[in-house]
């Protein structure tokens, strides 16, 4: 019960509910104000204008949000006017419908925020069919009032932001810590759960993508909103938490272990990994708790549990050495020690977040130059060239725009031919459900239909209990607020609430409520069916065909990241910014690859071409970026020796191998294949330093000198980690080369057969 109360409290204090309340205020205030002023007839137009422009109100830069809503206001006004003037002439209306559908949906090529503006435009086009205005004066009045409604919502959004300026950023930080905590716990499970490892790895792909998306939004919000006067104390705290969350995520990524080696090393001795696994779980739960405290503002939990778990992980290393005995235990002990060091660094960052949240006076300060911070922002290009580049059938958005246009025109004609009462309900379902990928469209269709049926059943039950229009009005108002609050979290529940709201709104105008329910359910099913069938049959773009370019980008970013790590190893003092930029780009590329793979799994089985090869390439790329991150993180946090000639030669070999993999995907030959053959490095050459240090250590033990000084320990750690990770990277790159070659060959064979 306490958990349910806590989750309810978190929901009430969330920005999702805040936006639902904002919409409720945007709807109610015009009705109440214009009622008392005697102009109630104008209220619906103002409210429509406000509702149409809510999609662009998302967290991020205030300047970009204002620009997006202003563009949305102009677009919705223009589209509404065009549709209303065209309604009297069916041929003109069909041409207008097709032109607007295609051109407006194509705006999505400019990124996520642009896609929300596009949705507002499409929504305005559909709702224009519900507006009964015929004379030019009536139409222009309607459009002007909608503009007023849009500006009213923008003003309201800015007022809410002024009242709670920290809320959006805190929510994003909270979501980020929650996801990272869940990810950390999942990575702990990978240590021991060999049988479920494949399933767990797929879950990590989803979480990695979600975390990266949150961090991108936070970068835009926190790094682009700096004032000339500097940051406030609270903004400094938010930035500190954000930086620590990035470090934690990167540390988790950097400890992507070679689980095959782990299984071989520890075999039946997995109990020595349980302390590290438990530490991951405790740290993950602590991050989740801290994420809740950013919203609830309660007391920070004690750190004793964290410190005890860290101590237990350290003791597990000693117990392992005592049980297995040196020198046999050395390799496993070094693996455990390296793992412990990373977990200790994770705990330091968690404690840094604790100090910031506890308002400790001597908490760290951020020293980030504006010039440097700008480099970490992913800027969206808005030039006409972007549109021109996407104006072909190879573009996913272009294909989606064509499909959506055909679906909307067909849906409208169907309504005209069969004289369907509210044809725009069909069109509304199509634009809400239809997405560029078939899998997501199918999933949303299912949720929409189930949600509509649930909403209809609830509405029927309420109608049978009461015939009170006041009850209908109150329930319609509450439902729309809750629906808007849940639309990102639970689309099925949101669809049910939207249905309830729409049914009761129409019930206020039409006494035959059951007829309204019947048409609502029927039109939703028709619209969902059109969306699914169109996505499957018309210009289908299955994710398997999109993956090549995304894979290519991941390979190229991994190569740049490897070379940046090589530079860092050679000069750790001056290469940190270039290294961090390369790391960010590599993580983004892997996140995009993971997202693409998730979309692939939602496609029909028959369209998942070479699924196993793709999964292998995704996993290899993910493992490679983590192995590189592991080396970079070690170099940053340890005093290391100079990079050896063998290290540089192996980097060159791996780099060349990755380039060959890129060439395989692009189906071209590369002279680097010859070069790569002359960069062969024996697998044991990198282990020479480790073996020498091990021999010296064994000799000291035989002489009775069992004390291990820090210099020798760090030397053994560095030699072991660098040697094994570079050999691991060689193996990964070779496997990638083979897999990409097989993948390209299979595509070529499939093309020849067709």
Q: pLDDT tens digits, residue range 458-495?
A: 988 988 888 888 888 889 899 999 998 998 888 899 99
- Backbone dihedral region of 297: left (phi > 0), alpha (psi from -120 to 50 degrees) or beta? left
- pLDDT surpassing 50 at residue 678: no
User: Quick one: average pLDDT of 155-168?
Assistant: 90
User: Quick one: average pLDDT of 330-359?
Assistant: 88
- pLDDT surpassing 70 at residue 365: no
User: Quick one: average pLDDT of 673-699?
Assistant: 57
pLDDT in tens, 89-139: 999 999 999 999 999 999 999 988 899 999 999 999 999 998 988 899 999
Q: What is residue 694's predicted lDDT score, i.e. its pLDDT?
A: 67
| DSSP-based three-state secondary structure for 725 | helix
DSSP 62-113: HHHHHHHHHHHHHHHHHHHHHHHHHTT-HHHHHHHHHHHHHHHHGGGGG-HH
pLDDT in tens, 308-332: 999 999 999 989 888 888 778 888 8
| pLDDT level of residue 228 (50, 70, 90 thresholds) | very low
Identify the CA nearest to 269 among candidates 332, 345, 226, 210.
Answer: 332
Q: Which long-range contacts (CB under 8 A, 24 or more apart) does 493-497 make?
A: 493/451, 494/451, 495/447, 495/448, 495/450, 495/451, 495/452, 495/455, 496/451, 496/452, 496/454, 496/455, 496/458, 497/455
When comparing pLDDT for 689 and 24, which is higher? 24
Phi, psi of 18 (to 5 degrees): -60, -40
Close Cβ partners of 581 (under 8 Å, ≥ 6 residues apart): 375, 376, 564
C-beta of residue 309 within 8 angstroms of C-beta of residue 277: no
| DSSP-based three-state secondary structure for 717 | helix
CB-CB neighbours of 638 under 10 Å: 13
| pLDDT level of residue 752 (50, 70, 90 thresholds) | low
| pLDDT level of residue 676 (50, 70, 90 thresholds) | very low
DSSP 31-59: HHHHHHHT-GGGHHHHHHHHHHTSTT--S
| DSSP-based three-state secondary structure for 151 | helix
Distance CA 339, CA 314 (A): 10
- pLDDT surpassing 60 at residue 684: no
pLDDT in tens, 61-70: 788 899 999 9
CB-CB neighbours of 532 under 10 Å: 19
Q: Which two tokens stand for residue 555?
A: 């390979």
C-beta of residue 422 within 8 angstroms of C-beta of residue 524: no
Distance CA 19, CA 485 (A): 6
Mean pLDDT of the chain: 85
C-beta of residue 495 within 8 angstroms of C-beta of residue 459: no
Phi, psi of 192 (to 5 degrees): -120, -20
Q: What is residue 5's predicted lDDT score, i.e. its pLDDT?
A: 81
Q: Which two tokens stand for residue 517?
A: 């329910």
DSSP 349-395: HHHHHHHHHTT-TT-------HHHHHHT--PPP-SHHHHHHT-STT-
- pLDDT surpassing 90 at residue 71: yes
- pLDDT surpassing 60 at residue 444: yes
pLDDT in tens, 231-246: 567 778 888 898 899 8
pLDDT in tens, 163-174: 888 888 899 999
C-beta of residue 49 within 8 angstroms of C-beta of residue 147: yes
| pLDDT level of residue 576 (50, 70, 90 thresholds) | confident
Distance between alpha carbon 706 and the CA centroid of its chain, in Å? 50
| pLDDT level of residue 701 (50, 70, 90 thresholds) | low
- pLDDT surpassing 50 at residue 677: no
Identify the CA nearest to 396 among candidates 205, 549, 531.
Answer: 549
Q: What is residue 709's predicted lDDT score, i.e. its pLDDT?
A: 60
pLDDT in tens, 244-299: 998 899 888 887 677 777 777 787 778 888 899 999 999 999 999 999 998 887 78
Q: What is residue 737's predicted lDDT score, i.e. its pLDDT?
A: 92
CA triplet 610, 611, 616: central angle to 5 degrees? Answer: 100
Q: What is residue 707's predicted lDDT score, i.e. its pLDDT?
A: 64
| pLDDT level of residue 227 (50, 70, 90 thresholds) | very low
Identify the CA nearest to 212 among candidates 443, 557, 484.
Answer: 557
CA triplet 32, 34, 36: central angle to 5 degrees? Answer: 70
């Amino acid at each position: 019960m306490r958990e349910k109360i806590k989750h309810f409290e978190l929901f009430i204090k969330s920005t999702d509910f805040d936006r639902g309340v904002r919409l409720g205020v945007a709807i109610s205030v015009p009705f109440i104000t214009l009622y008392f002023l005697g102009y109630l007839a104008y209220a619906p137009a103002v409210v429509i204008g406000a509702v149409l422009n809510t999609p662009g109100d998302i967290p991020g830069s205030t300047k970009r949000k204002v620009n997006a809503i202003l563009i949305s206001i102009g677009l919705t006004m223009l589209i509404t006017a065009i549709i209303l003037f065209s309604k009297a002439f069916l041929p003109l209306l069909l041409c207008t419908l097709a032109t607007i559908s295609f051109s407006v949906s194509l705006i999505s090529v400019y990124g996520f925020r642009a896609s929300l503006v596009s949705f507002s435009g499409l929504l305005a086009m559909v709702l224009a069919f519900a507006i009964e205005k015929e004379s030019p004066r009536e139409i222009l009045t309607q459009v002007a009032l909608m503009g007023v409604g849009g500006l009213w919502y923008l003003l309201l959004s800015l007022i809410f932001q002024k009242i709670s300026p920290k809320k959006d950023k805190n929510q994003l930080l909270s979501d980020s810590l929650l996801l990272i905590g869940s990810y950390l716990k999942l990575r702990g499970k990978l240590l021991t759960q060999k049988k479920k490892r494949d399933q767990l790895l797929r879950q990590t792909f989803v979480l990695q993508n979600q975390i990266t998306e949150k961090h991108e939004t936070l970068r835009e919000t926190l790094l682009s909103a700096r004032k000339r006067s500097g940051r406030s104390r609270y903004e400094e705290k938010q930035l500190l938490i954000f930086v620590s969350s990035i470090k934690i995520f990167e540390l988790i990524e950097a400890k992507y272990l070679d689980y095959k080696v782990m299984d071989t090393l520890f075999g039946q001795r997995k109990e020595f990994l349980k302390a590290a696994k438990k530490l991951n779980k405790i740290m993950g739960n602590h991050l989740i708790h801290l994420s809740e405290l950013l919203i609830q503002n309660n007391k920070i939990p004690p750190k004793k549990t964290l410190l005890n778990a860290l101590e237990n992980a350290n003791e597990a290393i000693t117990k392992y050495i005592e049980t297995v005995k040196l020198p046999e235990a050395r390799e496993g002990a070094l693996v455990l020690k390296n793992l412990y060091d990373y977990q200790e660094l994770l705990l330091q960052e968690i404690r840094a977040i604790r100090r910031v949240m506890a308002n400790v006076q001597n908490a760290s300060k951020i020293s980030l130059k504006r010039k440097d911070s700008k480099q970490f922002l992913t800027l969206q290009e808005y030039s006409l060239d972007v549109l021109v580049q996407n104006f072909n059938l190879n573009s996913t958005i272009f294909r989606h725009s064509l499909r959506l246009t055909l679906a909307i025109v067909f849906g409208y004609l169907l309504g005209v031919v069969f004289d369907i009462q509210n044809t725009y309900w069909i069109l509304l379902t199509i634009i809400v459900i239809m997405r560029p990928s078939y899998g997501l469209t199918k999933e949303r269709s299912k949720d929409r239909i189930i949600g509509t049926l649930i909403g209809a059943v609830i509405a029927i039950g309420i109608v049978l209990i009461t015939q009170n229009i006041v009850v209908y009005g109150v329930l319609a108002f509450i439902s729309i607020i809750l629906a808007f609050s849940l639309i990102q979290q639970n689309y099925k529940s949101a669809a049910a609430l939207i249905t309830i709201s729409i049914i009761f709104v129409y019930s206020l105008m039409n006494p035959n409520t059951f007829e309204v329910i019947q048409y609502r359910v029927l039109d939703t099913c028709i619209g969902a069916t059109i969306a699914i069938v169109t996505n499957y049959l018309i210009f289908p773009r299955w994710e398997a065909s999109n993956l090549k370019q995304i894979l290519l980008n991941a390979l190229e970013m991994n190569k740049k990241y490897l070379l940046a790590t090589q530079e860092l190893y050679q000069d750790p003092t001056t290469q940190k910014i270039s290294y961090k930029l390369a790391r960010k780009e590599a993580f983004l590329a892997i996140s995009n690859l993971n997202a693409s793979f998730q979309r692939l799994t939602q496609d029909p089985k028959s369209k998942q071409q070479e699924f196993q090869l793709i999964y292998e390439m995704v996993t290899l790329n993910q493992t490679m970026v983590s192995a590189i991150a592991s080396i970079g993180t070690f170099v940053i946090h340890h005093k290391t020796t100079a990079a050896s000639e063998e290290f540089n030669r192996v980097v060159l070999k791996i780099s060349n191998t990755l380039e060959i993999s890129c060439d395989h995907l692009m189906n071209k030959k590369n002279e680097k294949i010859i070069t790569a053959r002359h960069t062969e490095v024996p697998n044991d050459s990198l282990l020479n330093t480790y073996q020498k240090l091990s021999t010296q250590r064994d000799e000291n033990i035989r002489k009775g000198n069992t004390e291990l000084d820090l210099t020798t320990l760090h030397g053994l750690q560095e030699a072991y980690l660098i040697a094994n990770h570079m050999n691991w990277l060689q193996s990964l790159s070779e496997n990638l080369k083979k897999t990409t070659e097989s993948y390209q060959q299979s595509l070529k064979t499939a093309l020849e057969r067709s």
